[in-house]
């Protein structure tokens, strides 16, 4: 995976921390501060229907552009949900591969069930199959925050997150509202409001500290994507990213790039 942070030393150390994934256990979620699974029953045009959905918070996201270095400020973060999608794929693929090998083996070549492997990565060793690296769950994202503070405006929530997560102090009045949209329409239907913020190196009060919210248990790395590489970055499928990144880069190209007279490599 490409490194966009510009600080190979810090990036390497943070990646090593992110790679420490083990003791994976999937258990039922009986309670959560962020998600609540529900089922709705309703009638539509005389037909009885039902649908499972998840109640969660709305959110704000911020496209941050640094006018000093002409680059976008993103965050790179390990996402357990993304990782588990890849983990489950690996489980299924390895199970199919094992079954195919057993089908191809002659009956006398198959090991007795009682000999199943204390020397392999079997259940007795606590590792049923090989697991993907933690990098399989790392994504590039905009600065995002749940709307979990009803006493604050969306602009104030966005401002706080830009400061805490990315280390830039931007007045709420300098945030430009781009639009809002629904995300996860099949599961949550939550609304996300997208803002645009221009910053400079003078606004930076500590990117190194801002990117890692230890008190919230997060491992977040602040990264910079040069403006002239933004559109290639957006459409490169080998770089895992959210739809918000792609949409906001396209918006910037259409609305802001002419102001800076810099090619965005479209």
| Residues lower than pLDDT 50 in the chain | 1-3, 6-10, 12, 113-128, 208-215, 217, 266
d(CA 197, CA 173): 10
d(CA 98, CA 182): 41
Show the CA angle centred on residue 151, arms to residues 150 and 156, nearest 5°.
95
Q: What is the pLDDT of residue 113?
A: 47
Q: Which residues pair with 65 in a beta bridge?
A: 72, 198
Q: What is the pLDDT of residue 189?
A: 93
d(CA 102, CA 251): 53
**Residue 5 to residues 187, 200, 247: CA-CA distances in angstroms?**
33, 17, 21
Do the beta carbons of residue 135 and residue 152 sit within 8 Å?
no
> Which residue ranges form the domains of the chain, and what is each CATH number?
48-84+132-260 (3.90.79.10)
């Amino acid at each position: 995976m490409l490194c966009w942070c510009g600080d190979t030393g810090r990036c390497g150390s943070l990646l090593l921390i992110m790679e420490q994934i083990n003791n994976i256990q999937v258990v039922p979620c009986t309670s959560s501060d962020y998600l609540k699974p529900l089922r709705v029953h309703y009638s539509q045009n005389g037909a009885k229907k039902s649908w499972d959905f998840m109640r969660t918070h709305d959110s704000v996201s911020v496209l941050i552009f640094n006018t000093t270095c002409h680059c976008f400020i993103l965050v790179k973060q390990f996402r357990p949900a993304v990782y588990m999608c890849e983990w489950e794929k690996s489980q299924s693929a390895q199970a199919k591969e094992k079954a195919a090998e057993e089908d191809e083996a002659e009956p006398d070549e198959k090991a007795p069930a009682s000999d199943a492997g204390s020397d392999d990565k079997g259940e007795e060793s606590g590792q049923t199959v090989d697991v993907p690296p933690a990098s399989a769950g790392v994504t590039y994202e905009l600065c995002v925050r749940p709307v979990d503070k009803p006493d604050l405006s969306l602009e104030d929530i966005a401002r706080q997150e830009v400061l805490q997560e990315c280390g830039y102090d931007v007045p709420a009045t300098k945030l430009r509202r781009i639009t809002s949209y629904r995300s996860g329409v099949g599961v949550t239907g939550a609304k996300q409001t997208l803002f645009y913020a221009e910053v400079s190196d003078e606004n930076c009060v500590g990117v190194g500290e801002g990117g890692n919210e230890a008190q919230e248990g997060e491992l977040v790395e602040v990264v910079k994507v040069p403006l002239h590489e933004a559109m290639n970055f957006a459409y490169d499928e080998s770089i895992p990213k959210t739809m918000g990144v792609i949409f906001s880069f396209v918006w910037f190209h259409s609305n802001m790039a002419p102001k800076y007279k810099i090619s965005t490599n479209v």
